[in-house]
């Protein structure tokens, strides 16, 4: 192949590696955000499930590795170093296979993950206590979720009937973050009292709260954003595949160029 094609391949590969540097920085930042975030649904999972913390550390590691790969790929492309290009190709192939495997595991284990999440949220709701400062961050995070998604409980407001504090109050109070009443808009945590409890007792049906459970809200969000998620994943896979093709092509071209430079006897 001519030197012109070699240069084009080299600069295209350099461009792809710049994209990988940016992609690695985004993945690294996302992993750090999961660990640092204290005010969203991610915080509920992160503080309740060790697996999410492990996943965050994996994201940080993958992000750092992707940035390193981008740097090595740029270096190998500009300086035409075959061993770096080979290492870059191998790492890309491993990451692509790992991504496909992770996607398959998540797909086939989604019911197990859903059950685990239901258990986590159920335990949180059962033990929710505004006076418990030890769990304040976790409870504030769940209040934030219910307020933002406009939902109540995991499967519905009935989940809150298992709360120990509300049981002691004969259900005459309800979680303020579930409220759909305008008078509670300024209060988004703790419990609010019913205006006129009937016979001193009540049920969740008497509460002025949202009927939708947060599970349905999360599923709706995933459905609404499924196209974006799939698009991003497909885009990343295509970039990785093109990077592999360009790196092996450049590696072969460098090899061919080296032979053409050998003087004939």
pLDDT tens-digit series, residues 19-62: 778 877 887 887 787 677 655 556 665 555 555 666 677 778 87
> Would you say residue 65 has pLDDT above 60?
yes
Residue of 25, 132, 114 whose CA lies nearest to 70:
25
Residues counted in the chain: 265
Confidence of residue 198 (pLDDT cuts 50, 70, 90): low
CATH 1.10.1370.30 fits 110-242, yes or no: no
Confidence of residue 175 (pLDDT cuts 50, 70, 90): very high
The pLDDT value recorded for residue 163 is: 93
CB-based contact 166:128 (threshold 8 Å): no
> Would you say residue 260 has pLDDT above 80?
no
The token pair at 22 is 């940016």
Report d(CA 88, CA 103) in Å as an integer: 23
Among 58-67, 97-106, 117-126, the range of highest mean pLDDT: 117-126
Measure the CA angle with vertex 30, ends 138 and 114; round to 5°. 55
Q: Domain spans of the chain?
A: 1-80, 110-242
pLDDT tens track for 126-173: 999 988 888 787 788 888 888 888 899 998 999 999 999 999 988 889
């Amino acid at each position: 192949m001519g030197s012109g094609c070699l240069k084009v391949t080299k600069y295209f590969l350099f461009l792809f590696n710049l994209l990988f540097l940016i992609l690695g920085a985004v993945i690294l930042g996302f992993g750090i955000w999961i660990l640092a975030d204290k005010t969203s649904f991610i915080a509920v999972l992160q503080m309740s499930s060790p697996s999410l913390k492990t996943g965050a550390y994996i994201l940080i590691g993958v992000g750092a590795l992707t940035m390193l790969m981008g740097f090595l790929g740029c270096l190998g492309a500009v300086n035409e170093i075959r061993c770096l290009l080979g290492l870059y190709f191998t790492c890309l192939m491993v990451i692509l296979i790992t991504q496909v495997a992770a996607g398959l595991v998540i797909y086939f284990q989604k019911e197990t993950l859903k059950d685990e999440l239901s258990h986590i949220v159920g335990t949180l709701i059962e033990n929710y206590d505004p006076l418990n400062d030890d769990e304040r961050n976790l409870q504030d995070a769940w209040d934030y979720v219910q307020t933002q998604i406009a939902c109540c409980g995991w499967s519905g407001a009935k989940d809150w009937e298992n709360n120990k504090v509300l049981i002691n109050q004969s259900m005459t109070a309800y979680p303020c973050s579930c409220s759909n009443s305008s008078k509670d808009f300024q209060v988004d945590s703790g419990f609010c009292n019913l205006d006129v409890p009937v016979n001193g007792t009540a049920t969740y049906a008497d509460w002025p709260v949202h009927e939708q459970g947060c599970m349905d809200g999360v599923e709706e969000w995933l459905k609404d954003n499924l196209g974006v998620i799939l698009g991003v994943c497909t885009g990343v896979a295509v970039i990785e595949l093109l990077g592999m093709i360009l790196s092996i092509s450049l590696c072969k071209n460098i090899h061919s160029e080296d032979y053409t430079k050998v003087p004939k006897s």
